[in-house]
């Protein structure tokens, strides 16, 4: 009999964990030719998440949990869950029930019987999200698609089931700065997309602020593209050319040029552009520096159910 490992990153999810467990266990009962295990990864929660996970592991032997020593981020939690999964098939799901458990049976049939390596959920809409966040999300996927030359479709998230071959390929990528959507695309494999409508969280509050989403987007671009560094060099070339043109114009038509105020504004503008691109290059250097340290992606404080 096949085994399905359901990997669930958790960060302050005490309000929704019971509902997630109830609905997901009901959904997997329809998968009659496979057994399931739940691997919950507590990413340094500060509420009763760990306590609830411990209770679930005592009540149901299928439930296992890993608790980090601090918050290492969702990407690290997904990696830890995959490392500890023993299933023939692995699933990533959010605990907030925005990933419909009812799709698990269809995903399993696709990967098991239709020859695909992966079956992933594709959000058809962003119902319940603000207009600004919706606009920024669409813009991000267009930008990262052009810069990284990877297939990262708008609406594609972490909700997916994959076979063991694809899971092992992801585990071979051990970089410290992880961006799982990019990694899914990088390793390739045949993927079938199942559309579903977005729903609001079952309970609790989202952990994603505009600041954290911006940092997440920046990580994705810098992890899979060198285009920003190339852009910095291109901009530098044009700034040098512009400086020569301005210098020649100053010599030829000095009497008709604006005064000192415009010169000062121009210097500030050019200095700002320079500092911006230095910051881009610094981000690449910082990421290389963190990789060179060979620090662990996560640190486990406690495990249960294994």
Per residue in 245-272, pLDDT (tens digit) is 665 665 566 555 556 556 655 665 676 6
**Average per-residue pLDDT in the chain?**
77
Give the residue from 162, 154, 205 showing the smallest Cα distance to 187: 162
pLDDT score, position 158: 82
Mean local confidence (pLDDT), 7-30: 91
pLDDT score, position 39: 95
Contact 19, 27 (CB under 8 A): no
Residue 33: which residues within 8 A CB-CB, separation 6 or more? 1, 2
Q: Look at 231 and 159; give whichever has higher pLDDT.
A: 159
Task: Tell me phi and psi for residue 141, to 5 degrees.
Answer: -65, -35
User: For 172-188, what is each residue's pLDDT tens digit?
Assistant: 888 777 777 778 877 87
The two structure tokens encoding residue 77: 């939690």
């Amino acid at each position: 009999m096949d085994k399905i490992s359901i990997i669930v990153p958790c960060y302050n999810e005490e309000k929704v964990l019971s509902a997630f467990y109830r609905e997901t266990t009901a959904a997997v009962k329809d998968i009659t030719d496979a057994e399931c295990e739940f691997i919950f990864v507590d990413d340094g929660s500060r509420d009763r998440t760990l306590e609830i996970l411990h209770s679930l592991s005592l009540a149901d032997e299928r439930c296992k949990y890993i608790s980090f020593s601090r918050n290492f981020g969702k990407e690290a939690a997904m990696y830890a869950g995959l490392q500890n999964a023993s299933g023939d098939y692995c699933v990533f799901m959010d605990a907030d029930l925005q990933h419909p458990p009812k799709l698990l049976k269809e995903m399993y049939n696709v990967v098991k019987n239709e020859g695909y390596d992966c079956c992933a959920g594709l959000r058809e809409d962003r119902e319940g999200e603000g207009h600004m966040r919706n606009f920024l999300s669409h813009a991000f996927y267009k930008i990262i698609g052009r810069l990284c030359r990877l297939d990262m479709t708008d609406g594609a998230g972490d909700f997916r089931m994959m076979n063991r071959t694809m899971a092992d390929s992801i585990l071979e990528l051990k970089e410290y700065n992880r961006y799982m959507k990019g990694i899914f695309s990088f390793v390739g494999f045949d993927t079938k997309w199942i559309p579903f409508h977005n729903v609001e969280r079952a309970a609790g509050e989202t952990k994603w602020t505009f600041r954290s989403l911006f940092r997440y987007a920046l990580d994705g671009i810098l992890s899979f593209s060198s285009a920003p560094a190339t852009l910095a060099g291109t901009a530098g070339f044009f700034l040098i050319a512009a400086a020569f043109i301005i210098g020649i114009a100053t010599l030829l038509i000095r009497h008709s040029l604006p005064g000192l105020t415009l010169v000062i504004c121009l210097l500030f503008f050019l200095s700002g552009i320079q500092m911006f691109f230095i910051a881009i290059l610094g981000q690449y250097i910082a990421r290389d520096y963190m990789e060179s340290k060979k620090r662990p992606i996560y640190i486990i404080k406690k495990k249960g159910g294994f």
